[in-house]
A and B are shown apart, each in its own frame.
Chain A
Amino acid sequence: EDKVVQSPLSLVVHEGDTVTLNCSYEVTNFRSLLWYKQEKKAPTFLFMLTSSGIEKKSGRLSSILDKKELFSILNITATQTGDSAIYLCAPRSQGGSEKLVFGKGTKLTVNP
């Protein structure tokens, strides 16, 4: 059975702090891993990672994948209150529906 574990489940930091969110996975026919940010309603796409060891960056956010150890991390530097959200990790299987398998998410709260 496909399995995705995110840690921590909840994190409270102050503005300016750096955070690291973790995602470990066991998925058959792994193809890629996606990160989404969910504020109030619709999850919004952040990154898609396909290859090990290649960091993807977007502003203060970055992410990397380790396909050997089956995990990914999402880093956020110089956090802002607008980063407060639930961050979802979702590996994708190859073939068929290529549905996403989601973890429970990490709820990040950034206090001023």
Chain B
Amino acid sequence: GAGVSQSPSNKVTEKGKDVELRCDPISGHTALYWYRQSLGQGLEFLIYFQGNSAPDKSGLPSDRFSAERTGGSVSTLTIQRTQQEDSAVYLCASSPGQGLWQPQHFGDGTRLSIL
């Protein structure tokens, strides 16, 4: 597609439920990143994919968070047993990932609200 696409754009769920967030990167981009932006905070790195593998998961805040990427394209971020502190905007970014480093391009994010 023309840009990074994320869905849903908004998600409201009850505490304790599982949620899945989707990211469709720019076509051909092999590097994919997930970030979280809480109110009044900067973007916090969660996980990095190069192709289908995730060599850097250091930002995942707990084992309730996981992510996968299949076919080197779409990625899903799953949060199990959601807590109120998980409320944030989850942003996905992609970059070509090969050759000369190029800036990451961001999607519009998923605004997650945990009641």
- Are A and B genuine complex partners? yes
Q: Which residues of A contact B (CB under 8 A)?
A: 4, 6, 31-32, 34, 36, 41-45, 48, 88, 90, 92, 96-105
Instruction: Check B56 against A43 for contact (C-beta < 8 Å).
Output: no
In the complex, what residues of A have CB within 8 A of residue B103's CB? 34, 45, 48
A110 vs B14: C-alpha distance in the bound complex, in angstroms?
38
- A88-B43, A98-B101, A101-B45 known; A42+B56 contact, CB < 8 A: no
Question: Which residue of B is nearest A103, CB measured?
Answer: B42
Q: Size range of the interface on B?
A: 20 to 34
Indicate whether B104 reaches chain A with its CB closer than 8 angstroms: yes
In the complex, what residues of A have CB within 8 A of residue B109's CB? 41-42
- A96-B55, A99-B33 known; A45+B43 contact, CB < 8 A: no
Q: Which 10 A-B pairs have the closest CB atoms?
A: A97-B56, A97-B48, A102-B42, A41-B108, A102-B43, A42-B106, A104-B42, A45-B103, A99-B45, A42-B108
27 example contacts (A-B, Cβ-Cβ < 8 A) are as follows A6-B42, A32-B101, A36-B106, A42-B3, A42-B4, A42-B91, A42-B107, A43-B43, A43-B106, A44-B106, A45-B104, A88-B42, A88-B43, A90-B43, A92-B101, A97-B55, A99-B33, A99-B45, A99-B48, A99-B59, A100-B45, A102-B35, A102-B42, A102-B43, A104-B40, A104-B41, A105-B42
